[in-house]
Structure 1
Amino acid sequence: MSAKNSLARLSFLIFGFAFLYVPILSLVFYSFNKSRLVTVWGGFSTEWYGRLFENQQILEAAWLSLRVAAINATGATVLGTLAGLALARFGRFRGRTLLSGMTTAPLVMPEVITGLSLLLLFVTTEQAFGWPEGRGVSTITIAHITLTLSYVTIIVQSRLASLDVSLEEAAMDLGARPARVFLLVTLPIISPALVSGWLLAFTISLDDLVIASFVSGPGSSTLPMVIFSKVRLGVSPDINALATIMVSLVTLGVVIAGFVMLRRDRARQRDLQMALDAPG
């Protein structure tokens, strides 16, 4: 019976990984296809990678997406940290329920509703105050910060809720002011949560299509928008090449992050063993 259970679990595991990664591997395989037809193998070739780097539309869209994602991730991390700190440390204050609801609403709200509401907001403010003048990079960035702020707030709030408050209290007992305690004690401890929130906000912004489609204007098409417009007219091999490059970069980042975490874990275990072996 145990052998059958093990075989069933192994089968489910293989099926799950195949379901997730076989389409990605097929995409990588056909990115080296010489034929213009993405589903017909015409021989090995790297021609489409060369054409990809000659495509100014894709290069400009990729640079725009990276720039917007970086600004959005930084802004969302700063605002999300402040909101998470207020919710985790300031107790019950007037407006807490409203702040909590406003920061978590984008998590459950459909992106179509979020994009449409932001579009109406930008149109109204432009008519009333003359800002923003049309829609472009600034409106996309503001919209993405509105979306990703919730994720950072929840991550930071959760980390602060599990933080040992006695560390902060000990620093204040030694004469440190609250701002100095936050900078020298709290901030270094929650830095992994800040990095996680930044990376999550960056990824969500880089991947967003729906909201960006509502709040963008002429000359401000992000990479997902350009890819979606090309897919509607038929997938071309240069899109496979672009996807392969993105998958390779993500894989490289995951491997480097795993290697760094492994080294830190080994160093921590080594230091702990040295502390245990120390005399007296």
Structure 2
Amino acid sequence: MTTRIDRRFETVQAEGRPAFVTYIMGGDPDYETSLRIMKALPGAGSDVIELGMPFSDPMADGPTIQAAGLRALKAGQTLRKTLEMVRAFREEDNETPIVMMGYYNPIYVYGVERFLDDAVNAGIDGLIVVDLPPEMDAELCLPAIQHGINFIRLATPTTDDRRLPAVLKNTSGFVYYVSMNGITGTAIADTSAVNEAVARIKGHTDLPVCVGFGVKTPEQARAIGASADGVVVGTAIVAAIANAAGDPVEAATALVRELADATRNARLAQAAL
């Protein structure tokens, strides 16, 4: 089964460029504003949207995304409302891939089968659940695949060649390479080391490899996009929303446009060197 994610990566690869993947926290700073931001992202240059599921104990998230999750929860965001956001988005956009990202606990409480049924009906294309290792694929990964939802796995600098096959076994859509060990939003690792890691992963899979956790500037986006199949930006966008002096939608889309342009031109910049 071909998903929106598969089609989008086929398109950007045919265009000879990396994809630009954006992350926002569902319901931050409130439902309506978050939905407005989400609807504006494709027009600003986002190829794939990662939508965070707010959770009270986000162990892999840095302070910026933790704060966004707490704002969303305080404003009344729930997993059901996050699914409603996707459904509302799909009323106007049936092409942009949407990946829900977060932790297993809210899904477990919601009920796995109920969640997957509702996710399909809402228009979800993929899942990134950071606290479910391959040894727990029966919990959510395999049922998600049976529902036609891509299950996207994280690889890290410590994922060596012995571990990588297990990580890749049931992964689909794309592989998310975490550019450093630690929490989101910290400084990105040396780009040459990231490029080497991407090449190593691509030696084990035909899936696109996207790089995130720390990409904040156009320069970083260009450097990563020269070798990766996609560049993921989250913390910088979430910070722009939180720190907006005016309309958070304008603050987010202005940054996304700048980073999207840098990502799209990454291969051209590399060729000119």
Please state which structure has a larger fraction of its residues in helix: 1
- Structure number with greater Rg is 1
The structure, 1 or 2, with the larger RCO (C-alpha pairs under 8 Å, 6+ apart) is 1
- By the TM > 0.5 criterion, same fold? no
Give the TM-score taking structure 2 as reference length.
0.22
**TM-score where L is the length of structure 1:** 0.21
